[in-house]
Amino acid sequence: MAGKGTKAVGLALAAFGCCLAIAGGASAGSGPTERIVGGDVADPADWQFIAAVASRSGDQFCGGSVVAEEAVVTAAHCVVGSRPRNVHVITGRPDLAAESDGKEIKVEEISVHREYLRRGRHDIAVLNLKAPAEAPAVLLPTVAEDESETEPGDELRVAGWGGTTATGGNPSDVLLDVALFAISDAECSTHFSFFRPTEEVCAFGEEVSPDHYNDSCFGDSGGPLIADAPRGALLVGIVSYGGSKCGVKKPGVYAQVADNLGFIERKAGLP
């Protein structure tokens, strides 16, 4: 998660909570990794649309979601100021160490939301690709679906390859995921005075010990927050920011996709 005050480092993974990179990065067993961020190895069938956003050298630093044949949505803080030639996208590779799997695609254009450039709001960007992603696009929610699927207590899911410790260390080569639960705008505002309820979704993971929760972490930024709705898995949020330590006391905050549908559809070339 990056940006906004306490957490300005892009969390790329999505596995757990929000601003840190990977929400579910924890491996089985006891110890601080499981206790702090939690999570399980993800079923690739559940995350066919997920993308790793990587540097030109191939190092994954953020997550993303395929929204069109040649477009991926990610967090603005992951790519702001970057040149397209220095960023590429990896699809179909849940284990990043399996370099023969999936597809690596160069980026043609980076579009960062203008409100992020002006005021640090709307932490969202669209990457237009030079070739098809060869992965199914995630479903985008309507405003009504977003409202009904992100009420306090609703279960959500996040996934990524980010850090698996409270400080963001030990990123995972293997895609991890974890369950989170939406919390009220009022509760989120007690943790972040700059939280914007009309633009963001806030979620906590399960509390596994006093003030320690399953969460996303650094490296999960830009990855998908999913709601399992009657129509299918909906992309309701994008990993954006959280506390200074992953899963400790504070929830994760996600850029709200429904609030940015026009931007996404326009930049991704969707009808």
Residue 95 φ then ψ, to 5°: -105, 105
Q: Is-contact 12 221, C-beta < 8 A?
A: yes
Task: Read off the pLDDT band of 154 (50, 70, 90).
Answer: very high
267 has a pLDDT exceeding 80: yes
DSSP 35-98: HHT--EE--GGGGTTEEEEEETTS-EEEEEEEEETTEEEE-HHHHTT--GGGEEEEES-SBTT-
The whole-number pLDDT of residue 74 equals: 98
The whole-number pLDDT of residue 36 equals: 30
| Residues belonging to the active site | 77, 123, 221
The Cα 50–Cα 53 span in angstroms is 10
Task: Read off the pLDDT band of 246 (50, 70, 90).
Answer: confident
Query: Domains in the chain and their CATH numbers?
Result: 32-45+140-259 (2.40.10.10), 49-137+260-268 (2.40.10.10)
Query: Could you give the percent of the chain with pLDDT greater than 90?
Result: 73
The whole-number pLDDT of residue 39 equals: 75
Neighbours of 259 (CB within 10 A): 17
The Cα 26–Cα 32 span in angstroms is 9
80 has a pLDDT exceeding 70: yes
Q: Model confidence over 3-42: pLDDT tens digits?
A: 333 333 333 333 333 333 333 332 222 233 333 356 789 9
Q: Higher-confidence residue: 130 or 37?
A: 130
The CA–CA distances, whole Å, from 21 to 16, 80, 150, 231 equal 7, 17, 21, 28
Q: Higher-confidence residue: 116 or 32?
A: 116
The Cα 13–Cα 4 span in angstroms is 18
Average pLDDT, the chain: 86
